[in-house]
A and B are shown apart, each in its own frame.
Chain A
């Protein structure tokens, strides 16, 4: 059924998808500062520059903390929701599902803007707290969906089996459900972490003076400078992501949850 010309479409698809990455990669080692193409010479100066630019280093730590914190909190709160949705039959399940998928449906920029206005209304809120709330809210859909998928893969009766053999409900969950959800939890964690770590639209409005996430500070850097530092930083981030995603994919089969 697959004819030869159809393979050409694969080449085009992957060229378009991955070509930009190759160009960023090449640009990050080029010696000239004006981003002419093809790059001339070879240098690692831009990588050095990344590590000497304090706004990148500071915002990297903020993004890292933010991603870890909001992913963990969204998982801890999202897991019981996923459990309720997959283990019980109830009339308002559809409503619960809609509420928890809503943060995907509303544009991120609008969420950030609405939250900023609301937080101002609430009074003096720390910038980091605002970012944390925003990121946690947008991660719920991912946490709930991925954990639900992993719970659906597990026979709901194994818990009853554990209980019938003498374990109480909590022990049944800890001894039987949790060990079988490891892959799902790890997948949800990786997905949530990456989503938060890469987010621009929600962070844009919620960032404040001195407290900015890495992608937002990359964006504002671009407003003033146009040199391969961003290419070098992007290369580093791509390598970081590839390592993270490939490890997750190899161990967990991440693609089945996306």
Chain B
């Protein structure tokens, strides 16, 4: 970074085009959305949209369900990633970069394709039901699709890479010497992992958890396919209010609640990360 006197004009010229674009086409629509949520078409300022949202049993259930599933998905991702990320981080660079590209690959494929696989696995005549039937464990196919389990599986598969990547990069930064020092001081493998690796990778964990949780509570494709209109989450509720019920005011309220929720989680975990360091 080079400090130069009289640089302000140059910086403004560099930043202005993109800045104006984002301001007009991104910030302004959000401001308009916010105003929609408090200014119904009949006119006048009102917070009734928000009261209605939190008083309605349906939307309360949807909101709580969304947060609950988000937490479960985050938990599953943490459990699945932690030991695996440690193995990956300790690998020779060449093998690791191959395996990491396999982690990135799913991230680069569209969510419809990835969620579709779960229809084949969990469907009435899908992999799991066929197995259960052929083992005579059940008499009739079990309904998995349109259950919370299906949504959780779909979301976990979708967002798992977002947990693995920051964890691996946090663990890569732990020098072997530190682990050896812990062992030489008498810690066994488990203690070393819990007392040294976990605290030193907490940054990656928090970042990963933020990404997975906010991703899960705002994802649309997976709940749309695996939950449908029977098992709504916030995103599918927003879509329903806007497109099927044509209630733009209520939809705007749902949208604002989604924004506030994700921003709050981001902010909360950012504070946590700052305190850690």
Partner of A78, one of B18, B100, B218: B18
The 6 closest A-B pairs by CB, nearest first: A20-B117, A234-B113, A107-B218, A118-B29, A198-B110, A9-B83
Tell me whether B86 and A226 are in contact (CB under 8 A).
Answer: no
Where chain A touches its partner, the secondary structure class is helix
Chain B residues closer than 8 Å to A218, beta-carbon distance: 110, 112-113
> B14 within 8 Å of A by Cβ?
yes
Known: A24-B116, A242-B105. A6 touches B83 (CB 8 A): yes
Instruction: Give the distance in Å from the alpha carbon of A107 to the alpha carbon of B262 in the complex.
Output: 8
A residues near B271, Cβ cutoff 8 Å: none
**A194 close to B221 (CB less than 8 A):** no
Cβ 8 A contact of A219, one of B112, B156, B255: B112
CA distance A140 to B27 in the complex (A): 13
A144 CA to B116 CA in the complex, in Å? 32
In the assembled complex, B10 has its CB within 8 A of some CB on chain A: yes
Q: Does A170 contact B (CB under 8 A)?
A: no
Rounded to whole Å, the gap between the CB of A230 and the closest CB of chain B is 5
Q: Is the CB of A201 within 8 A of B87?
A: no
User: Which of B51-59, B67-75, B234-242 touches A?
Assistant: B234-242
- CB neighbours (8 Å) of B108 from chain A are 194, 198, 241, 244-245
List of B residues within 8 angstroms of A136 by Cβ: 21, 25
| Docked-complex contact A99 and B235, CB < 8 angstroms | no
Taking the complex as formed, is B2 at the interface, i.e. its CB lies under 8 A from any CB of chain A? yes
What residues make up the interface of A, taking CB atoms closer than 8 Å to B? Answer: 1-3, 6-7, 9-10, 12-14, 16-21, 23-24, 27, 34-38, 77-78, 80-81, 83-84, 86-90, 96, 99-100, 102-103, 105-111, 113-115, 117-118, 121, 133-134, 136-137, 140, 144, 156-157, 160, 194, 197-198, 200-201, 204-205, 214-215, 218-219, 222, 226, 230-231, 233-234, 237-238, 241-242, 244-246, 249, 253-255, 258
**A107 to B, closest residue via Cβ:** B218
CA distance A204 to B176 in the complex (A): 48
Which one of B30, B106, B221, B258 has the greatest number of beta carbons of chain A within 10 Å? Answer: B221
Whether the pair B100, A255 counts as a contact (CB closer than 8 A) is yes
Q: Which residue of B lies closest to A11 (CB)?
A: B84
A selection of 19 A-B contacts at a CB cut-off of 8 Å is A2-B86, A19-B117, A21-B117, A24-B116, A36-B125, A37-B123, A37-B130, A84-B11, A105-B266, A110-B30, A113-B242, A114-B29, A118-B28, A137-B22, A140-B22, A222-B112, A230-B113, A234-B114, A241-B109
- Is the pair B113, A106 in contact by a Cβ cutoff of 8 Å? no
Choice from B22, B239, B262 contacting A105 with Cβ under 8 Å: B262
- Report the nearest B residue to A78, measured CB to CB: B18
What residues of chain A lie closer than 8 Å to B21, measured between beta carbons?
77, 136-137, 140
Alpha-carbon separation in the docked complex, A2 to B113 (Å): 35
A214 and chain B: residue at smallest CB distance: B110
A81 and B15 contacting across the interface, CB-CB below 8 Å: yes
Instruction: Count A-B contacts at CB 8 Å.
Output: 280
Q: A93 to nearest B CB, angstroms?
A: 9
Give CA–CA (A6, B2) in the complex, Å: 46
Given A102-B26, A103-B26; 8 other pairs, CB 8 A cutoff: A36-B126, A88-B1, A99-B19, A109-B235, A200-B221, A222-B116, A222-B225, A230-B116
Q: Mark B226-265, 1 if CB is under 8 A from A, else 0.
A: 0000000001001100100000100110010011001100
Minimum distance in angstroms from B174 CB to a CB of chain A: 10
Q: Is B47 an interface residue, CB under 8 A from the partner?
A: no
A172 to chain B, nearest CB (A): 13
Q: Given B17, B100, B119, B258, which contacts A226 in the complex, CB threshold below 8 Å?
A: B119
Cross-chain contact of A20 among B88, B157, B248, B252 (Cβ < 8 A): B157
User: Which of B75-130 touch A at CB < 8 Å?
Assistant: 80-84, 86-88, 90, 97, 99-114, 116-121, 123, 125-127, 130
A214 partner residues in chain B, CB cutoff 8 A: 110
**Contact: B112 with A21, CB < 8 Å?**
no
Which residues of chain B are near A37, meaning CB under 8 Å?
Answer: 120-121, 123, 125-127, 130
A96 touches B161 (CB 8 A): no
Interface-central residue, B33, B99, B102, B224, by most chain A CB under 10 Å: B33
B60 interface hit (Cβ, 8 Å): no
